[in-house]
Amino acid sequence: MSERLFFPATERNREPILSVLRRVLPTAGTVLEVASGSGEHAVFFAAALPALTWQPSDPDPAHCASIAAWTAHERLDNVLPPLPLDALSRPWAPNGPAEGYDAVYCANMIHIAPWEAAVGLLIESARLLRPGGVFVLYGPFHRGGVHTSPSNVDFDASLRARNAAWGVRDLDEVARLAAREGLSLAEVISMPANNLTVVLRREHSP
């Protein structure tokens, strides 16, 4: 049986996300993907952006096996073996390029994890990004404490019912934390299904 996992959301959102990544990512360099899940995003983006080296990661061994299986299936040489990074466990091992990553990408993680995972994600990403590097965060958010749509109200309630530590995060709070770590908010892009893509840049050492 194939170790490749299939997550329906990745196929639905990958094209809109790719359109943003084509514009905001550097033309070449190494991208760290945090919480890569099945690996479907990793291989799709790496195939579409062949000048970039994609470094997937995930704390779940089954997800790491799926990432490796997808990479082998797609025969991609610009996807590195997955790292077992956990946003709740810091510091992350310095497995990346000596000069730092050129970009960090993370989709649909911080609302299905404790807030401490978002904190770890931003702190470690700021530490590992080179100056001028870009951080791309995708998912649902509220803004100024207000949900962006009625469907996100219901989604937030369902998340908190499953786990009280989960929930749709407030973009203003994320941006404040990012700023403390040297990541400045560059752009917020509205996406399908009431999601946002948030682009931050590392302007200086935290």
Supply the Cα-derived Rg of the chain in whole angstroms. Answer: 16
Residue 52 lies in a domain: yes
Q: pLDDT tens, 159-192? A: 999 999 999 999 999 999 999 999 999 999 999 9
Number of domains composing the chain: 1
**Is residue 142 included in any domain, yes or no?**
yes
- Do 69 and 3 form a contact (C-beta atoms < 8 A)? yes
Bridge partners (DSSP) listed for residue 188: 198
Is it the case that residue 205 has pLDDT exceeding 70?
no
In 3D, which of 129, 28, 33, 40 has the Cα closest to residue 87?
33
Structure tokens at 19: 């359109």
Instruction: Give the DSSP H/E element, type plus range, for residue 118.
Output: helix 115-128
Structural domain contains residue 18: yes
Residue 1 in any domain: the answer is: no
Which stretches of the chain are assigned E, i.e. beta strand?
29-34, 52-55, 101-107, 129-139, 141-143, 146-147, 169-170, 183-191, 195-202
What pLDDT does 42 receive? 97
Residue 2 has pLDDT above 90, yes or no: no
In a domain, 44, yes or no: yes
Reported as a single tens digit per residue, the pLDDT across 76-104 is 999 999 999 999 988 887 666 767 899 99
Using CA atoms, how far apart are residues 184 and 162, in angstroms rounded to an integer? 32
In a domain, 111, yes or no: yes
**pLDDT at residue 206 greater than cutoff 50:** no
Q: Give residue 95's pLDDT.
A: 63
State the burial class of residue 94 (Cβ atoms within 10 Å of its Cβ: 0-12, 13-18, 19+): exposed
Tokens in use for 153? 């109200």
CATH number at residue 83: 3.40.50.150
What digits encode the pLDDT tens for the residues 189-204?
999 999 999 999 998 5
Q: What average pLDDT score do residues 96-123 get? A: 92
In a domain? residue 187: yes
Three-class SS state of 185: strand
Residue 23 lies in a domain: yes
Range of the domain at 47: 8-202
